[in-house]
Amino acid sequence: MMNMRVRFKHLAGAVLCSALMAVSPGYAQNPPKLTVGFMATLSGPAAIYGEHMRDGFMLAVNQSNGTLGGLETNVLITDDKLDPDYAVEKVTELIEVNGIDVLVGVNFSRVMLAVHDPVVRSRTLFIGTSSGPAPIAGRTCSRYFYSTASQDDQVHETMGRFASLKGYQRVVTIAPDYEAARDALAAFQRHFKGQIARELFPRLGQTDFSGEFAQIDEISPDAIYAFMPSGMGVELVRQFHTSGLKGAIPFLSAKTINGVSLPYMAETAEGLMSASSWAPNLDNPANKRFMREFQRTYGYQPSVYAAQGYDAAKFLHFSLELTGGIKDPETLISAMNAAPFESVRGDFRFNDNQFPIQDFYLVEGVRRTSTLYEMEATARIFDDVGDAYSGSCRM
């Protein structure tokens, strides 16, 4: 550990020395402030995901008394309204009018695909905290973009691998009828070695799944794999609980049962399996502090979205500490690639495409008290794995 600290100290000195050569003499007397644009969906039915991300990010800022890397930090929180055109308009305003130093956030792929290119073309640093579409991890990657969230396919790949490890031969998949959901099921099949007995695509917004469960009962597969986010997922799990299939057919999922949806599912989600890169019970000092202080500050259980928001602020904090508070993008990028960042996930480093190399877990919803439910990691499925698209990234 001491050798690592010495190495980072030397790196900090080298980065800081090169940066100070370009800094005016008035820097010490008038230290700059840091302006962060935080963008997420904060209105409508999907607002809760953005709220978790925002609360995680702001917790880390507040832990440093309103600073990141020693710089007084102003966070401009912006609702993208889950509207790609509106998001581009707002992100342009953040860059050109508000003069942000860094953009953080974005939790839905259609918004990320709209804002990514305008942000990186402006040479504004961008730290994603949820959405990781394949093109951004691969052929349109940018040195100005980092992600503290996994690439979108990886949780689905994790469950595909788990299904194969369990020896399941015939699986029925169920997901809403839209393109991103079909991509999710294709990712599941990347590591699943068995047969897809049937693909079920209920219409977007559907809340009655009795017809789908009747088909599953008739097929009698080895397992079900569900990608059913938000309210549809809550209804799917509740109805599975009363369908007569629970306990008879294993229920596998990703982005269906998580820290956001679990309070609404409660006992209906107990024993059902999902995949994640983080869970509240991960045993490392950073995660223990995060769990303790998040619950004390906000009064609710954090999700993986909150954890990724928190990690983004900590990553930025330690990178700025390494530069001595120099926020010039080129200097900061050099520091970001060397910062001694401790993730709440434990093992964590950035791949060549600046997405994480990290572990992935089998997680389950468990009852902690009569009213408290929490996701729990029960097995590591992937150890130190990067995404499938990093080889296509050319920076």
Distances (CA, A) of 329 to 122, 175, 316: 11, 40, 12
Q: Are residues 212 and 296 in the same domain?
A: no
User: Measured on CA atoms in the order 202, 161, 303, 180, is the torsion positive or negative?
Assistant: negative
Instruction: Tell me if residue 41 falls in helix, strand or coil.
Output: coil
Give pLDDT, residue 337: 86
Q: Considering the chain, what is the average pLDDT of its residues?
A: 92
Residue 12 pLDDT greater than 90, yes or no: no
Q: Looking at the domain assignment, is residue 251 inside a domain?
A: yes
The CATH number of whichever domain residue 310 belongs to comes to: 3.40.50.2300
Residue 267 pLDDT greater than 90, yes or no: yes
> Band of the pLDDT at 371, cuts 50, 70, 90?
confident
Give pLDDT, residue 339: 83
Phi and psi at residue 158, to the nearest 5°: -60, -45
Q: Looking at the domain assignment, is residue 380 inside a domain?
A: no
Runs of H (alpha helix) within the chain: 2-20, 47-63, 84-96, 109-121, 134-137, 154-165, 179-191, 210-219, 230-242, 262-265, 285-298, 304-323, 329-336
> Band of the pLDDT at 8, cuts 50, 70, 90?
very low
Residue 27 pLDDT greater than 60, yes or no: no
Q: Are residues 157 and 248 in the same domain?
A: yes
Q: Across residues 41-63, what is the average pLDDT? A: 97
Q: Are residues 145 and 45 in the same domain?
A: yes
Q: Give the relative orientation of helices 210-219 and 230-242 as an angle to the nearest 10 degrees.
A: 60
Burial class (CB in 10 A: 0-12, 13-18, 19+), 171: buried
**pTM attached to this predicted model:** 0.91
Q: Looking at the domain assignment, is residue 236 inside a domain?
A: yes
Give pLDDT, residue 31: 63
Q: Looking at the domain assignment, is residue 215 inside a domain?
A: yes
Q: Which domain holds residue 77?
A: 34-150+282-358
Last residue of a domain, one of 231, 255, 276: 276
Q: Looking at the domain assignment, is residue 314 inside a domain?
A: yes
At 318-342, the pLDDT tens digits run 999 999 999 999 999 999 988 888 9
Domain count, the chain: 2
Q: Are residues 168 and 267 in the same domain?
A: yes
Nearest Cα neighbor of 178 from 229, 136, 254, 235 is: 229
Give pLDDT, residue 28: 52
Residue 13 pLDDT greater than 90, yes or no: no
Give pLDDT, residue 145: 98
CA distance 135 to 75: 28
Q: Are residues 261 and 324 in the same domain?
A: no
